[in-house]
Amino acid sequence: MNLDKKREQIQDQALQAWIQKNKKGTVEIITGLGKTMIAMKAIMTMPKGCSVLWLAETNQRWKDVKDDIINFKKFYNIDIYEHVDKIEMFCYQSAYKWTDKHFDIVIADEIHDGLTLEYSKFFLYNTYNSIIGLSATINRKTVYKTESGEEITKGELIDNIAPICFKYSVNQGQEDGTARKLNIHVINHNLDFQTKNVLAGSKTKQFLTTEKNSYDYWDNEFKKSLFLPASIKEFKLRVTSSARARILYNLPSKVVVTKKLLEVLSDKTIVFGNSIEALLQVTPNVISSKNSELKNSDIRNKFDSGEYDIIGSFKMLKQGANLKGLTNAVIMSYYSVEKDITQMIGKQFA
């Protein structure tokens, strides 16, 4: 069985599992296997003239969804727009404010982004006949504290809204040959102990120091926090560990290493970073929330067409984006969230 047939088979298995759960559930499936195609097949199981709400994290996602609707028509000779009354596309950031709206089916794209106490209000105060959640990774252990002081996990939220009905893991993808095998390399380098380019000090008295001195200071503060009274220990540990991590995430020396790396990498490359300013030192073509939608779209289109070989992204392309002809991804700043690292490594190479 060729790869396309195998992927289609997995999509159909996911669809049937969702149907068996009365069309209310989440498909947790690795990136690159066509979660959007599963969603469109789910729409086609609904009565003709149905109303569809497609939720996602960012507006940038809609370009890819619309492209996939076109591809769906080419592949299956089915026009989604002829089957539905309308497809509304909104972000979780807007939809959670709604009340008393009704839809025939809700597509909860990257549903893990909608599983917060704030955004999940949409699912509580609005109604729908069917819902299909889509995700590659859901961290069920993430804990939220309600206004009353009670704790609820992301796992409990997904179980209440759209329980997992089908799961296909990275290990399964490797065994079946459906997950693309990637060459992943980690480049280690020492903290700069000579160049004073890291801002330190208080707000009223700031000065520049080296990466190593800055990290050593906060590392020492973290260690001292271990011996503080219990009343303030947890707070100080959180503050000092965050400051220490922030230095590692945003090392100026990473810009230097990335520039050298791009000189030897061929073909099309995306660079991920934790700072828009740092990314702009690497490439002027950075997709970010600071740009207009028109500018971000222009950068995407020129990358897809081959006019640009390198683009940068802070958060907006970490998930849900299909980039044409992408060969390399450089993660200039490490992300400690498993979901983010999985999305960046996986979806971009679909």
| 66, 159: one domain | yes
Of residues 206, 236, 201, the one with CA closest to residue 217: 201
Based on the fold, state whether residues 326 and 293 are members of the same structural domain: yes
Q: What is the pLDDT of residue 319?
A: 53
In the chain, the number of structural domains is 3
- Give the domain CATH number at 137: 3.40.50.300
Beta bridge partners of 52: 87, 105
User: Could you report the per-residue pLDDT of 302-330, keeping only the tens digit for each?
Assistant: 998 889 999 998 765 655 566 777 888 89
In this prediction, residue 11 carries a pLDDT of 94
Instruction: State the chain's mean pLDDT as an integer.
Output: 88
Residue 124 lies in a domain: yes
Q: Are residues 93 and 7 in the same domain?
A: yes
Final residue in a domain of this structure, among 230, 249, 268:
249
Shared domain for 277 and 222, answered yes or no, is: no
What is the structure's pLDDT at 122?
97
- Same-domain status, 229 and 110: no
The answer on 150 and 225 residing in a single domain is: no
| Residue 338, pLDDT score | 55
Query: Are 242 and 260 contained in the same domain?
Result: no
Q: Of 249, 266, 301, which residue is a domain's last?
A: 249
Look at residue 194 and tell me if it is in a domain: no
Give residue 349's pLDDT: 46
Please report whether residue 262 resides in a domain. yes
Beta strands in 50-140 (DSSP E): 50-56, 84-91, 102-108, 127-135
In angstroms, the Cα distances linking 108 to 37, 87, 128, 131 are 13, 13, 12, 7
Domain final residue, candidates 197, 232, 249: 249
CA atoms of 7 and 4, how far apart (whole Å): 5
Ordered DSSP codes for 148-195: TS-EEEHHHHHHHHS-EEEEE-HHHHHHHT-SPP--------PPPSS-
User: Rounded to two decimals, what is the model's pTM?
Assistant: 0.70
CA quadruple 138, 139, 145, 150: dihedral, nearest 10: 90
Whether residue 262 is found in the same domain as residue 118: no
CA dihedral 64, 322, 336, 123 (to 10 degrees): 30
Residues 231 and 300 in one domain: no
163 and 283, same structural domain?
no
Q: Are residues 16 and 113 in the same domain?
A: yes
At residue 4, the pLDDT reads 80
Please report the pLDDT score of residue 61 as a whole number.
80
In the chain (350 residues long), the average pLDDT of successive 10-residue segments reads 83 97 95 88 97 88 86 92 94 95 96 94 97 92 88 95 93 77 80 92 90 94 93 92 88 92 89 88 90 87 90 70 79 66 52
Q: How high is the pLDDT of residue 337?
A: 58
Model confidence over 237-248: pLDDT tens digits?
Answer: 999 999 998 888
- Range(s) of the domain holding residue 66: 3-176
